């Protein structure tokens, strides 16, 4: 677990150094995996219709409900690795 946590933290650092900005769908996936890995299931209130970005982020994160944080970490690590 400690190795995965270290790899996750390294992937988070690498995500800030990507040479190209990923498309919006990939950015939402990155966000959702990060939140699921670091916080767990989404327990926040869904944003209103006026906050389209917030709703998209909420929907992406909520779509991972039930995913174990360790699985989300590994998916995050793999995704960032594929973009680097």
Nearest to 40 by CA among 5, 8, 67, 10: 67
As a CATH number, domain 2-83 is 1.20.80.10
Residue 51 to residue 72: CA distance in whole angstroms: 26
| pLDDT at residue 84 in the model | 81
pTM for the structure as a whole: 0.92
Which ranges of the chain have pLDDT less than 70? 1
Q: Is the Cβ–Cβ distance between 72 and 37 less than 8 Å?
A: yes
- Residue 44 pLDDT: 94
């Amino acid at each position: 677990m400690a190795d995965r946590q270290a790899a996750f933290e390294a992937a988070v650092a690498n995500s800030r150094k990507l040479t190209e900005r990923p498309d919006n769908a990939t950015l939402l996936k990155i966000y959702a995996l990060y939140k699921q890995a670091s916080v767990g299931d989404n327990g926040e209130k869904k944003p209103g219709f006026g906050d389209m970005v917030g709703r998209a982020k909420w929907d992406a994160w909520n779509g991972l409900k039930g995913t174990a944080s360790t699985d989300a970490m590994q998916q995050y690590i793999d995704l960032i690795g594929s973009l680097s």
